[in-house]
Amino acid sequence: MARYQSVRDIKAWLILLLVVLMALPATVLAQQGADARREAFQSMPGTQPSFWEDAMQGVSGRTQSNSPGADTLIMVEGERWREIRNQWISPGGAIALGGSLLAITLFYLLVGKVKLEHPRTGRKVERWSRWDRTIHWFVASLFIILAITGLSILYAKWFLMPILPTSVWAAWMTAAKNIHNYLGPLFGLGVLAMIIKWLKHNFFNMVDLKWFLKGGGLVGKGHPSAGYLNGGEKVWFWMIVFVGLTVVISGLVLDFPNFGQTRETMQLFLIIHAGSSLLLMAAAFGHIYIGTLGTEGAFEGMKTGYVDESWAKQHHDLWYDAVKNKTKS
Amino acid sequence: MARMKFLCDSERCIECNGCVTACKNANETEWGIQRRRVVTLDDGEIGKEVSISVACMHCSDAPCMAVCPTDCFYPTEDGLILHNKDACIGCGYCLYACPFGAPQFPKQGAFGARGKMDKCTFCAGGPEEDPVLEEQKYGANRLREGKLPLCAEMCSTKALLAGDAAEVADIFRERVVYRGHRNSAWSSVEHEAAESEQLAKNAADLAYDATQSV
């Protein structure tokens, strides 16, 4: 009997063992299933910090949209462009223009107009041909229009918008943009013509070096010698060449957005365009001052084409001598 | 005051472009204008592909507004960034500043001259008194009717959420808690095994958060 008893015990134990062994995989599997699902959730790409770090760096993917740059989830350059434009270009340009005006005003008040040293002789010398004057005033008037419209686009929202009714404001800004866009290329042609026409007068020589050393007549006694164009005029010419052409070329890139330029290209050229044109405007204030209020007898040269003999002798003595010899012989 | 936000749950977006279609249908946008788009990153790479629906995110510090030469953008009481098409000159600066490529321009003039900018309005219309004109210019004003943007309403997997930021965040938080959060979903910090106690505490905090209404 005891023997049977132990056999029964063993049977019971075996059954228990079987039940336990059968139950064990089920719980393990269930546990594994939950872990696997959780693992899957937690390892999906969108939950990985690295994925969002990449997205914030501006990765590109695929999209059905045909807009330029639509395949980029986050364009990171925009924020930098905004900062450069709003924190540097805008205030920097205002400081440059304001500073230029202030310097000119101070110069006018302290030094005053450069007067003719000798009374007018009444004899006229031709300085600017009809062609010269046409090109000059073509470029000059376009420059002023482009400056006013361009400055409107950069600054007018700070001072014009609060005082105008929305409809007038909108009409002015639309006009400003269209005028700026359509006249820009014409300005470019004018600048090119100007450069070609006047290039031959504008190579620097030793006379210009002496002119610069005497500060164009401000340092030391007596007016420094100058040929047809003095050192200052040549500097202005080369500013037109380098800064002016930069303005023109960057403007053309912005003006014709139909060649598939990316947003990043446009940002770069907007900064170049704004920066260089503000620089050119600040310098143009000086040019305008010297050509009008600053120098007695200078404006009539570009207005009529002729300057007075005593003006020519005072400001461009070498050129005056050359013209005199030419007419004698 | 509500602050309206979109949120796209990248775990749920299946790149069906239903939101894009719904948007175009609700707002009857011009030819070539697509206010919303779906971007798929690592397209076709198994286990890495992620799709996200993007439109105007109605930024708190909106770059478009900061660079607009005519200042035609304005924030609404609901924290939306809307714009006045009458003042828009089509210069494209908003497009250059926007991180999300939201501003769209119809090609109307010669030499690629842009028309008036168009972008997602959160289905909240625009500054126009006359509702007919408003719909023509800016599309649907569903918010006025007490409805949410159609893109989110139509989303078949409810990946795209729209509405009050707090509520949207609550819904998403609940999902994150359900999924579990190794490294807390957004964190870039690698946790050590020893920090599991802290992780459990974070989980409990988040689970509690998810039960709160705000």
Residue ranges of domains in chain B, CATH in brackets: 4-154 (3.30.70.20), 180-211 (no CATH)
Are B50 and A51 an interchain contact pair (Cβ–Cβ within 8 Å)? yes
**Nearest Cβ partner of B41 from A41, A61, A259?**
A61
A83 touches chain B (CB under 8 A): no
**Nearest Cβ partner of A73 from B52, B114, B185?**
B52
pLDDT at B113: 83
A154 touches chain B (CB under 8 A): yes
**Nearest Cβ partner of B182 from A42, A53, A181?**
A42
Are A257 and B114 an interchain contact pair (Cβ–Cβ within 8 Å)? yes
Interval A188-198 mean pLDDT? 97
Interval B82-103 mean pLDDT? 95
Percentage of chain B exceeding pLDDT 90 = 69
Chosen from B50, B56, B186 to mutate, greatest number of chain A CBs within 10 A: B50
pLDDT in tens, A167-182: 999 999 999 999 999 9
pLDDT at A284: 97
State the pLDDT confidence band at A241, using cuts at 50, 70 and 90.
very high
- The average confidence (pLDDT) of chain A is 90
Chosen from B15, B65, B96, B100 to mutate, greatest number of chain A CBs within 10 A: B96
Interval A45-73 mean pLDDT? 86
pLDDT at B181: 58
What is the least distance, in Å, from the CA of A50 to any CA of chain B? 8
Are A67 and B34 an interchain contact pair (Cβ–Cβ within 8 Å)? yes
Tokens standing for residue B156: 């078949």
pLDDT at B14: 92
Q: Is the pLDDT of residue B185 over 50?
A: no
Q: Does A160 or B190 have the greater pLDDT score?
A: A160
Host H or E run for residue A147: helix A130-159
pLDDT at B196: 62
pLDDT at A329: 64
**Nearest Cβ partner of B11 from A44, A55, A152?**
A44
Percentage of chain B exceeding pLDDT 70 = 84
- What residues does B41 pair with on adjacent strands? B50
Three-state DSSP at A163 gives: helix
Host H or E run for residue B112: none
Q: Is the pLDDT of residue B177 over 70?
A: yes
Q: Provide, as residue numbers in chain A, all residues whose Cβ is less than 8 Å from the Cβ of B89.
A: 170, 173-174, 176-177
Q: Is the pLDDT of residue B187 over 50?
A: no
pLDDT at B197: 66
Q: Is the pLDDT of residue A117 over 70?
A: yes
Name the phi and psi angles at B57, rounded to 5: -95, 5
Q: Whose CA is closest to A173, among B104, B117, B91?
A: B91
What is the least distance, in Å, from the CA of A170 to any CA of chain B? 4
State the pLDDT confidence band at B2, using cuts at 50, 70 and 90.
confident
The CA–CA distances, whole Å, from A291 to A76, A153, A208, A286, B112 equal 46, 28, 19, 8, 39
Structural contact between residues A228 and A199, judged by C-beta atoms closer than 8 angstroms:
no
pLDDT in tens, B60-90: 999 999 999 999 999 999 999 999 999 999 9
pLDDT at B188: 43
Poorest-pLDDT segment among A43-57, A198-212, A242-256: A43-57
Interval B107-136 mean pLDDT? 90
The CA–CA distances, whole Å, from A56 to A30, A50, A298, B8, B11 equal 39, 10, 59, 15, 18
Q: Provide, as residue numbers in chain B, all residues whose Cβ is less than 8 Å from the Cβ of A67.
A: 34, 37, 101, 104
Are B181 and A42 an interchain contact pair (Cβ–Cβ within 8 Å)? yes
Is the ipTM higher than 0.85? The answer is no
Q: Which positions 273-312 of A are in contact with B (Cβ < 8 Å)? A: none
Q: Which positions 16-55 of A are in contact with B (Cβ < 8 Å)? A: 38, 41-42, 44-47, 49-55
Are A69 and B101 an interchain contact pair (Cβ–Cβ within 8 Å)? yes
pLDDT in tens, B140-155: 999 999 999 999 999 9
A73 touches chain B (CB under 8 A): yes
Poorest-pLDDT segment among A99-103, A257-261, B40-44, B158-162: A257-261
A161 touches chain B (CB under 8 A): yes
A149 touches chain B (CB under 8 A): no
Q: Is the pLDDT of residue B15 over 70?
A: yes
Q: Which positions 191-250 of A are in contact with B (Cβ < 8 Å)? A: none
Tokens standing for residue A47: 């939950």
Are A64 and B20 an interchain contact pair (Cβ–Cβ within 8 Å)? yes
A87 touches chain B (CB under 8 A): no
Q: Whose CA is closest to A228, among A132, A122, A114, A130?
A: A132
Q: Provide, as residue numbers in chain A, all residues whose Cβ is less than 8 Å from the Cβ of B69.
A: 152-154, 156-157, 173
Domain parsing of chain A, residue ranges: 77-328
Beta strand pairing call for B4-8 and B37-41: unpaired
Cα-based torsion angle of the residue sequence B32, B33, B34, B40 in order, rounded to the nearest 10 degrees = 50
pLDDT at A243: 98
Poorest-pLDDT segment among A4-13, A277-286, B98-107, B135-144: A4-13
pLDDT at A4: 66
> Quick one: A77-328 is in which CATH superfamily?
Transmembrane di-heme cytochromes, Chain C (1.20.950.20)
Interval B92-106 mean pLDDT? 95
Interval B94-107 mean pLDDT? 93
pLDDT at A220: 74
Poorest-pLDDT segment among A56-65, A121-130, A137-146, B174-183: B174-183
